[in-house]
Amino acid sequence: MSLANKLRRLIPPASSGPAPATTPAAELDSFLHGREVTTPVGACYVIDKAIPLEERHGHWRLGEALHTSYGTLGQPQPLDVKTALFLDTETTGLAGGTGTYAFLVGLGSFTSSHFLVKQLLMRDYNEELAVLYLLEQELQEKDTIISFNGKTFDIPLLQTRFTMARLGLQGCAGKKQLDLLHLARRIWRHKLKSCSLSSLEINILGVRRLNDIPGSEIPGRYFQFLHTGQGQLLQDIIEHNTLDILSMATLLFHIQQTLRLPPGECNCPWEAEALAKLALGQSNFSLGLLYLDAARQLCHRRSQYLRLLRTTALVYKRLRNYEQACALWQEILQLAYDDLDTYEELAKYYEHRAKDLTEAERVTRRALAIAWQAKSAKAADLEHRLRRIRNKAQTSAST
């Protein structure tokens, strides 16, 4: 089947229900400052911005994100930001599915002198194929897609649109992906109530948006544009999308800078704790313990301090440094007398490592009393442990 015939099948006829108004490019130019671009599969509207690398976005200049080296960031190979494409979509709904369109695809990339933002806009549903065609061209030139929640939302949605187009386009398939939301959660999920991009902008990046359109209002604003053809309705959406892309660039840079912090230079207990977990996940226990120690010194919250003590104790237990672990378990119980898990760890230590059955029984009896009072499910296990310890003690006394 020829491409023209494919298009005729895909584009809905004008008679199939009330068609939204199509907006000529000239009506958008004064508001969006873009241009109409014609492709082999039709036309759409494209907005290009070239932002100097000296320009600041939040605490940092854009050039800092370009002129730094990146590690693997969870990928098999180190990231080359010069061959990466930042991607963010604005859609007709947040639920996804085959009925949801990405009416605006925002793309960001670095050159030696600028950060380029290219936004592909479909002024009506029949321009989706042109948007996908241009997106395909951009993707072919890059190795990695960088997004924020893209693995869950943007990329699957776009790939669905590519599949439904049935034009043989590859789309996002096979591209390496880096989702900054996942990295941000690893570092700041304990520090922040939310790791949404807006929360990260305010609390981490130092970005302040003025009169920004809420994301929940964007689909309705676009539908209003379709029915009225008023280009000014899209101005806030275009600006919102631009800021999302710029924030991804500086967030990438700050994540990399945070991951490189040595323990002695950490000034945030949550970041130090996150770096400890990353080091421990790579079985670098000595480095992990240094980060945990830094986090405890910086920490001012009881709940976090207890969490750090528990994590550190478990690391020492894994390293078979039971004396250090025991000292930490004792400290935990001074702060949280009803911590049954810690009582259990101490009972195991005294029974199996220190061979001090008297102390093992004392710890277990105390834990059992707390479990009975709290009606904890651990009571049965503690009763079983106490009987075993007493039997061992009796056997030892009779020999």
Tens-place pLDDT, residues 318-359? 999 999 999 999 999 999 999 999 999 999 999 999 999 999
Enumerate residues 6+ apart whose C-beta is below 8 A from 38.
130
Q: Which pLDDT band, with edges at 50, 70 and 90, does 77 fall under?
A: confident
Rounded CA separation 337/101 (Å): 55
What is residue 13's predicted lDDT score, i.e. its pLDDT? 43
What pLDDT shows up at residue 102?
96
Sequence-separated (6 or more) residues with CB below 8 Å from residue 218: 90, 91, 237, 240
Instruction: Output the average pLDDT for the chain.
Output: 91
How far is 228 from 22, CA to CA, in rounded Å? Answer: 9
Residues 11 and 32: their CA atoms lie apart, in Å, by: 26
Domain residue extents for the chain: 3-259
Phi and psi at 106, nearest 5°, equal -100, 135
Tokens 């082999």 map to which residue? 40
Q: What whole-number distance in Å separates Cα of residue 383 and Cα of residue 223?
A: 65
* Sign of torsion over alpha carbons 21, 27, 29, 30: negative
What was the pLDDT predicted at 14? 38
**Helix or strand run (H / E) with residue 249:** helix 235-259
The pLDDT score that the predictor gives to residue 74 is 75
- The one-letter amino acid code at 164 reads M
Q: Is pTM, for the whole model, over 0.85?
A: yes
Task: Indicate the class that CATH gives domain 3-259.
Answer: alpha beta
Question: How far apart, in whole angstroms, are the C-alpha atoms of residue 218 and residue 223?
Answer: 9
- As a whole number of angstroms, the distance between CA 244 and CA 198 comes to 9
Give the residue from 311, 341, 340 showing the smallest Cα distance to 325.
311
| Average pLDDT, integer, range 303-326 | 97
Per-residue pLDDT of 24-63, as tens digits, reads 444 799 999 999 999 999 999 999 999 999 999 999 999 9
| Residue that has been written with the tokens 């008023």 in this structure | 230
- What does the pLDDT read at residue 292? 98
How sure is the predictor about 254, in pLDDT bands with cuts at 50, 70 and 90?
very high
| 379 has pLDDT over 50 | yes
